[in-house]
Amino acid sequence: MSRFPRIDARDPRPIYQQIVDSFGQALTAGRLVAGDQLPSVRELAVDLRVNPNTVHHAYRELEREGLIEVRRGQGTFIAHDASAAVHPSVRRELASAAARAAAGAGLSVHDLIAELEALTGTVRRGRLPRRGAA
């Protein structure tokens, strides 16, 4: 199952979190879309060679985040409104990259926030700034 998560034993995150983050990233990247059926807990546990309780924990977290839905008797699916969501792990990566870039440019956190708020207003009006434009 190439589009489903793989576990990295060297990763310090718990296995269930690796599964959650992998599905969130696949959703954000468009490799998974609303309505896609996920493997059963048992199938994914066998594929990943992990305890089914670990996969169950990951699925519960994904359901709590509103990214998946369980349809009794049918299986587990990507939720219809999940495609619009930005998974928390992706959100953290974006924020971290922005903070590093700002610090490298000598911007304070307050300056970065002000720039992002100004940019958000521009984007909402349908005008995207050109790369490198000040």
The per-residue pLDDT string of the chain (134 residues; one tens digit each, 9 = 90 and over) reads 445 677 898 999 999 999 998 998 888 778 888 899 999 999 999 999 999 999 999 999 999 988 999 999 999 999 987 655 555 666 677 777 888 888 888 988 888 888 877 777 655 555 555 555 54
Cα(85)–Cα(71) distance, rounded to whole angstroms?
20
Beta-carbon-side half-sphere exposure of residue 85 (alpha carbons within 13 Å): 22
For residue 1, the model assigns a pLDDT of 41
Cα(116)–Cα(129) distance, rounded to whole angstroms?
12
* pTM flag (> 0.85): no
> Helix or strand or coil: residue 105?
coil
**Of 61, 89, 63, whose CA–CA distance to 76 is shortest?**
63
Q: What is the DSSP letter of 32?
A: S
* Unique residue bearing structure tokens 């369980």: 70
How many Cβ atoms sit within 10 Å of the Cβ of residue 85? 16
Kindly state the helix (H) or strand (E) to which residue 45 belongs, with its residue range: helix 41-48
> Helix or strand or coil: residue 123?
helix
For residue 2, the model assigns a pLDDT of 46
What pairs with residue 70 in β-bridges?
Answer: 76
Question: What totals of helices (H) and strands (E) does the chain contain, helices first?
Answer: 5, 3
**Of 87, 40, 92, 45, whose CA–CA distance to 66 is shortest?**
87
